[in-house]
Amino acid sequence: MKTTNIKYSFACMLVGGLSLSSAWSQDASAAGEATAETPSAPVVIGTVDRLDERINQVLAADAAIELLAEGFEWAEGPVWQRKNQAILFSDIPNNVVNQWKEGEGLSEFLKPSGYTGSNPRLGEMGSNGLTFDSSGRLVLAMHGDRQIGRLNSDDEIETVVRYYKHRKFNSPNDLVYDAQGNLYFTDPPYGLEKNMADPAKELLFQGVYLLRKNGELVLLTGKMSRPNGIGLSPDGKTLYVANSDPAQAHWLAFDVQDDGTVANERVFFDATSMVGENNPGLPDGLKVDVHGAVWATGPGGVFVFTPKGEHLGTIRPGPATANCGFGNDGSVLYLTSDMYLCRIQTLSKGQGF
């Protein structure tokens, strides 16, 4: 990604409740500056649809989607690893977590990543969503093993949680920690070989869960047809959950109560009418930035929403986009788009940077 050391200043701008701090400036530098030794220009793909002028407050007019790597079966779950200054992401069918690092390119980080059994199996067996806990350990939504796993100091995957009331999960999909270290995650059936008709399915519903720090597991809702991507507002008071169902392609928002449970379920944005071959993909992974803007993969690419659910525009790499995640200094948004790993420079930052 070309670096020009442009500094962007904002003067008390408000994006439908999206408050960008006064006189805040950000160095738009990102890893990957072309030099005499690396003169090749980045490969640019796709487009950015700008539906509302306020999108210019979070994406510069010349922001472009840069293709970093390709050839994956179905890329998912990008997360920034501070220790190695690299992006990690899942390739679900290949049961692997890959790493991409500036100046080094692509390498294998962890295999197996989602299915550690010895019996051959089909379906989406690898890891899906990835995150890090407060101790810097990689935490994985493991489709094949039907659990939340954690990579320990011996580079072994240990179980964090696997059962709800003595029944195996369907296939944990995406996950996010709150500021207190409680884990929220979703559990659709996509990792089961026969999906909803799989005889190994033990739960009659697709759940959204809260795993408290003390190990207590709470079912927040079992009413969503295909809960998928999940994220929290910066103040931790709103939980967002994507529903990857072509008949109900929407994002829900919930109020988070003092005990971590949720109330006041409501539709944040409904994209059902957008679903179709001209807009590949469904509501899937999402991230919420420091200002409360929601960056959510959906039909056609990554939707950019204000905290009020106003659709400002869409980042469109081309293929169906499964997930996104902030990296570098927090201002670069990485996209996993089917067979592609891409990125785009933003004027915002992800939480935790």
Q: Per residue in 63-92, pLDDT tens?
A: 999 999 999 999 999 999 999 999 999 999
Whether the CB-CB separation of 348 and 289 falls below 8 Å is answered with yes
CATH of range 45-345; options 2.120.10.30, 2.30.40.10, 3.20.20.150, 3.40.50.2300:
2.120.10.30
Q: Per residue in 166-213, pLDDT tens?
A: 999 999 999 999 999 999 999 999 999 999 999 999 999 999 999 999
Residue 277 is predicted with a pLDDT of: 94
Residue 99, strand partner residues: 88, 107
pLDDT at 36 over 70: no
Residue 339 is predicted with a pLDDT of: 98
Q: Per residue in 224-249, pLDDT tens?
A: 999 999 999 999 999 999 999 999 99
Q: What's the order of all strands across the beta sheet hosting 86-91? A: 75-81, 86-91, 96-101, 105-110
Q: What's the CA gap between 139 and 131, in Å, rounded?
A: 5
Least confident among 32-36, 108-112, 153-157, 264-268: 32-36
- What percent of the chain stands above pLDDT 70? 89
The pLDDT of 39-56, averaged and rounded, is: 92
Q: What's the CA gap between 96 and 151, in Å, rounded?
A: 13
pLDDT at 15 over 80: no
Cα diameter, the chain: 60
Whether the CB-CB separation of 272 and 246 falls below 8 Å is answered with yes
Q: Per residue in 101-122, pLDDT tens?
A: 999 999 999 999 999 999 988 8
The pLDDT of 26-49, averaged and rounded, is: 62
Residue 164 is predicted with a pLDDT of: 98
Write down the number of H helices and E strands in the chain.
0, 32
Least confident among 5-9, 16-20, 49-53, 161-165: 5-9
Residue 195 is predicted with a pLDDT of: 94
Q: Per residue in 258-271, pLDDT tens?
A: 999 999 999 999 99
Looking up tokens 């409360």 gives: 292
Q: What's the CA gap between 64 and 270, in Å, rounded?
A: 26
Residue 253 is predicted with a pLDDT of: 98
Helix H or strand E segment including 273: none
Q: Which two tokens stand for residue 37?
A: 């030794």
- What percent of the chain stands above pLDDT 90? 86
pLDDT at 96 over 80: yes
Confidence band of 126 (pLDDT split at 50, 70, 90): very high
